[in-house]
Structure 1
């Protein structure tokens, strides 16, 4: 059984590109993200750069979406300022996006090579955050077996 990869949501890419062009100014905001909610709404955000590791645009978007009552996202894309185009999520964002939305699609690539992939394709063999919630009463402490 194969699952069909969704088409590239060009409206979503343009929404992120518009935010990157109009809202990313200076060194503090250099990336924009846009996500489509399952109900069709588009949510946008920008990063908050800081030398201590400020949040990426994708992570800011998660909080923005929740503040707007959006809890189910279908597809996300990030676009860089200065016409850098689509930028794939960093490793931290990939893990967080997978943890929050394991069925999420991500738009990656450039120009004619834009494509939509599953977040699991970007982070194969990933750590599953839910593992820390396993029943610890059934497992033996380290070094006791």
Structure 2
């Protein structure tokens, strides 16, 4: 896995995800407990928050991807998810990894590591992934 140190732009993306979840959380037992942010190739940032539901509502990463698409962003470079109440950065779940590989295989994902947050290609997070094409 090819891990990269974070840039100033990466830290700004983390801050947007953190701010999004902290301003909109329902607390530790609430349904809005994760925030995400994604950066477009043009530098624009887009945020999302999870919509937890017993039927499997969308994760914050998927909401952020949808927000970016609805705003006209077609090429995305980096994504991150952050937990509420200062829980920090989280790696994407399996479903999100599959979506990232299918739609944005070149996107970098900010993940926690033993040496602090780093970025990695989405394809490195899901080796041997099933390749679906819309």
Normalised to the residue count of structure 1, the TM-score between the two structures is 0.82
Other structure's SS at 2:102 match: helix
Other structure's SS at 1:35 match: strand
In structure 1, the partner of 2:66 is 63
Counterpart check, 1:11 vs 2:5: no
* Distance in structure 2 (CA, Å) of the matches to 1:59 and 1:103: 16
Q: Tell me which of 53, 56, 59 is aligned to 2:56.
A: 53
Residues 24-45 of structure 1: CA deviation (Å, up to 9, x unaligned): 2241211000011000000001
Contact residue 85 and residue 110 of structure 1 kept, 8 A: no
Residues 2-51 of structure 1: CA deviation (Å, up to 9, x unaligned): x8946341111111111111112241211000011000000001010001
Residues 115-137 of structure 1: CA deviation (Å, up to 9, x unaligned): 0000011001111113xx8xxxx
Q: Which moved more, 1:15-24 or 1:106-115?
A: 106-115
Q: Which moved more, 1:10-19 or 1:103-112?
A: 103-112
Moved segments of 4+, more than 6 Å: none
Contact residue 33 and residue 50 of structure 2 kept, 8 A: yes
Residues 45-98 of structure 1: CA deviation (Å, up to 9, x unaligned): 101000110000011112111111111110000001111100110000000011
Unaligned runs of 5+ in 2: none
TM-fit CA distance, 1:112: 5.2
Q: How many residues of Structure 1 are paired with residues of Structure 2 in the alignment?
A: 129
In structure 2, the partner of 1:102 is 105
Other structure's SS at 2:42 match: coil
Higher RCO (C-alpha under 8 Å, 6+ residues apart): 2
Unaligned runs of 5+ in 1: 134-145
Instruction: Give the root-mean-square deviation of aligned CA atoms.
Output: 2.0
Contact residue 3 and residue 118 of structure 2 kept, 8 A: no
In structure 2, the partner of 1:124 is 127
Counterpart check, 1:87 vs 2:86: no
Larger Rg: 1
Normalised to the residue count of structure 2, the TM-score between the two structures is 0.88
